[in-house]
Structure 1
């Protein structure tokens, strides 16, 4: 009888961490640890002989760093990878780069008391490994950040020079979870420097959200930052919810302002997409457009239905291009999506829904 359990290879330079992760996996009936490796060279040989379904990979490794190993793996023999990362600024930057290179997801470990914290996140780790095992991983370029696949918006740069925003009118709201950092990156890389103001809720740990916003700020035409209380949302600016706060939007006259909320998690998440989207509905109404991207679970789906009911244009990422078709899939199932689109078409669709497309057409004439 064929063994249907998820086969995991644990790659970490710490024997303690390898043992803890192995014990966590061994307690699950549907997962089996087929091997462990203390560095990427050993891991490379074990991948050949053991053929794992999923790899857990430490960010910082001896002999070959985790990013180099991951890049080679995704180029030569793509496999689902879940990164195991420390909660440090350097690790946040490296982990985000790992997601660009093709890692499916990540879990965090502290620099101290690793044993207790890894046990505390056992459910999260098991869930992410199970989801990773179902992901179709494709070969990646060595530098994917420089090769976006969005639909080009011809004339957008010319149109942007003709616009002179004084107040915010239209607004874009984006929500995502697993696979979302890369999906958001691709969408924002398809938007011009004077696109309508953007608010983003991505399920992400504290400390990682600031690094995520800084990376987006460097590689897109937009001004991107981690949201703070009182930030005014203006065209050309995007605000990412902090990893341990809900982001809400409020209106003061003609201005849209960010408000941070330290209340309980909603749908088990903080920040919650549902919280952000419902505040956008209250503050912006049908001047908003919302997109829900790849992610496990159903956070944001009911809010998408509420937005659509009030004539807000709503977009869900399609199943084919989603890492996990949970949040967008639930949105579609509940009837909350006006459109279901592949990731590469969402940036253009957002602009079209905010009437930006009309300005692009004028710029072409």
Structure 2
């Protein structure tokens, strides 16, 4: 529940790993964003960052024991009042205690009494993360509705490298904001695996030139962030995107339409939902020139093009998994042959997907694209059952949640 000033109450749990120092930046981001943050460290965490630091940065008292201020019953009250609990870093020990319901300090007691969303950001050595015990503990927590991010890969303590690195504080903060925006909603995509394509493909003409499009990947990444906040396991096939990876998503980077097709079909083999938000080039040069095409006084030769595979149509015609829901996107403009929705309905009939998100990508009054590169979007979600769901212009996360609502209804 919000505090007296209307600020969301966030509990920041910190367990005993070397990455505890990074939680200081996460705390700063949360407080500067308007949250009231109570830091609850473990005794081991205080070996890395002292209580005075947490108290000074949060403006609230810091304790590890259930025996401090006993009259206030802190191990119950803190969890009951929280709007969100974030544990960063979450060590293998902490995940094991949470999965098995142990409550031997203030943090684990808080986790048992919290009825708000709980977000874990693991950090440990690779061998610990990949150990069957940790794998099972993570699966248990996710099955119960907790959001457990996958750790990043990179430099660990000492010379070791591999998966187990704490996601960057900015990424954890973004995931926390998604959960706060959703409020106490149940993570209704928990146990579901989703594949999302994002960005725009590039088809090489020569070593320095390519055919491409204006897609920035913002909508696809918003879909990934909202799916993660709702508990899904996310594979994000990213084509030429310059955005930070959403914490917890498995990101597969591709360049061309053929590379995207291969990655999507490989990931879709056991996916519940596939969302094709990427702008896939319809054509590619018939021949790629190995050396840069030089400019001369004569006119260039006409550029011969060939068709790229229609990835969305192939997915719909031969679904890798029975019952799989496939969502397509249609970036349209009206013309003499019909309106944006006319073209969208025709595309839905051709592609035979379950849902088609129709965007008007024409220019606004200032000559800018209404969709590409903008933090906002508006669309109509067409269903194969004849439904039409308009989504008013707003943040792309709002449209993303509307898409997941529609997809989830069809999964059920």
Q: Normalized against structure 1, the TM-score is what?
A: 0.45
Higher relative contact order (CA 8 A, sep 6+): 1
**Looking at CA atoms only, which structure, 1 or 2, has the larger radius of gyration?**
2
The answer to which structure has the higher helix fraction is 1
